[in-house]
Amino acid sequence: MKAVTIHSLKQANPIVDVPNPAVPEGNVLIKVHATGVNHVDLAWANGKRKADDTIFGLEVAGEVIESNSNLKVGQRVAALVDEGGYAEFVSVPAGRVIPLPDDFSYSQGASLPESYITAYQTLFWIGNLQDHQTVLIHAGASGVGTAAIQLAKALKNATVITTSSKAKTAVCKQNGADYAIDYENEDFETEVDQITDHKGVDLILDFIGADYFQGNLNAVATDGHIVLIGDLSGSIVDHVNLRYIMIKRVSITGTLLAPRSTEYKEKLIADFIDKTSPLFTAGKIKPVVSEVFDLQDAKAAQQFMLDKKNVGKIVVKV
Give the separation between CA 217 and CA 66, rounded to whole angstroms.
50
Domain(s) labelled CATH 3.90.180.10 in the chain stretch across 2-112+287-317
Nearest to 130 by CA among 254, 207, 221, 229: 221
Q: Report the CATH number of the 116-254 domain.
A: 3.40.50.720
Task: Give the Cα-Cα-Cα angle 109, 112, 118 (nearest 5 degrees).
Answer: 170
- Range(s) within the chain of domains with CATH label 3.40.50.720: 116-254
61 with 80: CB under 8 angstroms?
no
Which amino acid does the sequence have at 132? H
Alpha helices in the chain (DSSP H): 39-45, 106-110, 113-120, 143-156, 169-174, 188-195, 213-219, 242-248, 262-281, 298-306
pLDDT at 49: 72
Model confidence, pTM: 0.94
pLDDT means per 10 residues, the chain with 318 residues, are 96 96 97 96 86 92 97 97 97 97 95 96 98 98 95 98 96 97 97 98 96 96 97 90 94 94 97 96 91 97 95 96
With residue 67 as reference, give the H or E element that holds it.
Answer: strand 59-67
Write down the pLDDT at residue 51: 67
Q: Which CATH class is domain 2-112+287-317?
A: alpha beta
DSSP of 189-219, one letter per residue? HHHHHHHTTTS-EEEEEESS-GGGHHHHHHH
DSSP3 helix / strand / coil % (the chain, rounded to 5):
35, 25, 35
